[in-house]
Amino acid sequence: MLRPRLSSPAGHPMLTAPTLPPPVPGVPDARAALLVHPFYAKDPRGSFGKHVLTPATTFSTLAAATPPGWRVSMWDENLLQGPPPSGPPPAVVGITVHLTFAQRAVALARWFRARGSLVVMGGLHVEACPEELAPWADALSLGNGVGTWPAILADAATGRLRPRYQAPYAGFAQEPPPDRSILPEWAYLTPTSIIATRGCHNRCGFCYLSTRGLRMPRENRPVQDVRRELEASPTGYGVFVDNNLGSDPDYLLRLCQALEPAERIWSAAVSLDVTDRPELVRAMALAGCTGVFIGLESLEDGNLRSAGKRCPPAADYARRVAIFHDHGIQVNASFVLGFDHDTPDVFQRVASWVEDHRLESATYHILTPYPGTPLFRKMEGEGRLLHRDWSRYDTSHCVYQPRHMSPAQLEEGYGWLYQRTFSARSIWLRRPRDPIAAAPYLAQAWLYKKNNALWTRLIRDRQVRRAWAPLVELQRRRHLAFRARLRTTCPAESPRRRAA
């Protein structure tokens, strides 16, 4: 096995947070609120491009929930624009906190508080470890931010801010549509990150949805509301950031029927069991789906059972992936490495499987026990946790003792898998059989996966949207032509197989 090579040196702007200048106290702007996404170090073995594919929905959702009389703006440190704005301090600063950038979030909170702002923290790590973050914030937001944010601003305006606010995840269909005017138009491949459903029918032990205290019922939005969002996309491309858009197959079918006339393209995370109904996959293709992200997780059924994941057996993966391919839908498969049934041969097995079945992309994660999840409690009870340095709980470091290999072996195998999958040889082996689809795939794979230096420049120079817009439009037009051919075939046939 080759030893993985890191492509970016220490001090690289995608690996190192910008230095915060000395805080200068000031008189807060009484009706100004700033939403902050802290910096997190990117894994140089993966693509930097995925970090600017589409924005987190936190910004546009909270902007929509901001009451009249307040001015809200955003600052995403990952867009490489230097330190936060240095003008008059905003009255309220909302900081989203995830596990891997909790330390950076605390540093930002201290900086903004020293300038005179009130700091509110929310996000998954606040849900899991509220006592850890309480000393660094004036208030914590737990649960649904759409419910807490207006109350927080109202109390801040009257000097009555409480230490904690909590709102349930309920009434999804009645929430206001996102306000994307808050987003910088140059920053992302597409600003149209859409949530159509909330929750998931799986409760995998390693997933953040299983965090203790997090109650997120399955809910669906009206399909016509979702269609209007997608039609408004300035790029003609949307990304559904639902945990699992296929969790309710009947809803997904209705959604696809509503989206088909829009002539937009989109991608989404779905579970593999949507292929139980091939007519549903056909409807997805006709509605504009060009790619799916699927958590295959493991090729070993014992791992799937122990994780509590309800899915088809691994032996049936290939047939089901082919159903997506037959309908012109690319597959980005997620694999988790380091389950208790994994042995050192898992890396070669996964790499060969990805290439043999021509997956257009693959995403790899080292099994990570997030605080508050059943997996964390299990690892803690067995004495297998190596430390609690949250910055390394990022799925690219091993933070526990695996059953059948050393932590170093697991990290080395993870790095080797990315090096193998991102190699020119592997990209070529995984090209679609359809020659019409092969050329755009090769161009996209080469740009997306092998040009981190280019991505750094595009992000820093505010050129992401401009550089990728022509490629997105080309993909949209190509898929429209494919859809026209698909409509002329019977459900048992496909343009892909006919072309082959």
Total tally of structural domains belonging to the chain: 2
| Residue 158 shares a structural domain with residue 259 | no
Q: pLDDT tens digit string along 405-448? A: 999 999 999 999 999 999 999 999 999 888 878 888 888 888 87
One domain for residues 226 and 270: yes
How large is the average pLDDT for residues 447-457?
A: 86
CATH number, domain with residue 385: 3.80.30.20
One domain, residues 99 and 220: no
* CA proximity to 141, closest of 159, 114, 158, 119: 119
Q: Are residues 147 and 215 in the same domain?
A: no
pLDDT in tens, 272-297: 999 999 999 999 999 999 999 999 99
Q: Are 147 and 266 found together in one domain?
A: no
Domain of residue 119 covers 29-172
User: Is residue 498 assigned to a domain?
Assistant: no
Question: What tokens appear for 105 in the block?
Answer: 């979030």
For residue 468, pLDDT beyond 80: yes
Residues 227, 150 share a domain: no
In a domain, 286, yes or no: yes
92: domain CATH number? 3.40.50
User: Residue 6: what pLDDT?
Assistant: 41
Measured CA to CA, the distance from residue 442 to residue 424 in angstroms comes to 10
Residue 16: per-residue pLDDT = 92
165 and 199 inside one domain: no
- Output the furthest CA–CA distance in the chain (Å, rounded): 68
All residues at 6 or more sequence positions from 488 whose CB lies less than 8 Å from its CB, including other chains: none
User: Strands 197-198 and 219-220, how do they pair?
Assistant: antiparallel
Angstrom distances, CA of residue 426 to CA of 79, 262, 451: 30, 35, 16
Kindly state whether residue 4 falls inside one of the protein's structural domains: no
Let me know whether 165 and 217 are in one domain.
no
Residues in Cβ contact with 226 at an 8 Å cutoff, skipping those fewer than 6 apart = 194, 196, 255, 258, 259
Type and span of the H or E element at 21: none
Q: What is the pLDDT of residue 196?
A: 93
Q: Name 220's Cβ contacts closer than 8 Å, sequence gap at least 6.
A: 172, 173, 196, 197, 198, 248, 251
Assess whether 164 and 206 both reside in one domain.
Answer: no
Q: What is the pLDDT of residue 496?
A: 55
Q: Are 297 and 342 in contact (CB under 8 A)?
A: no
- CA pseudo-torsion sign 239, 241, 247, 251: negative
pTM: 0.89
Token code pair at residue 73: 């703006």
Task: Give residue-wise pLDDT tens across range 86-133.
Answer: 889 999 999 999 988 999 999 999 999 999 999 999 998 998 889 999
Residues 368, 432, single domain; the answer is: yes
Q: Which comes out higher in pLDDT, residue 305 or 133?
A: 133
Is residue 391 a contact partner of residue 103, using CB atoms and an 8 Å limit?
yes
Query: What distance in Å separates the CA atoms of residue 306 and residue 301, rounded to the nearest whole number?
Result: 9
Specify if 6 maps to a domain: no
Q: Is residue 24 part of a domain?
A: no
The answer to whether position 110 is within a domain reads: yes
Provide the pLDDT for residue 5: 39
Give per-residue pLDDT as tens, 366-387.
999 998 888 999 999 999 999 9
Same domain, 429 and 305: yes
**Quick one: 148 and 230 in the same domain?**
no
Last residue of a domain, one of 122, 145, 172: 172
* The residue to which tokens 């009451």 are assigned: 67
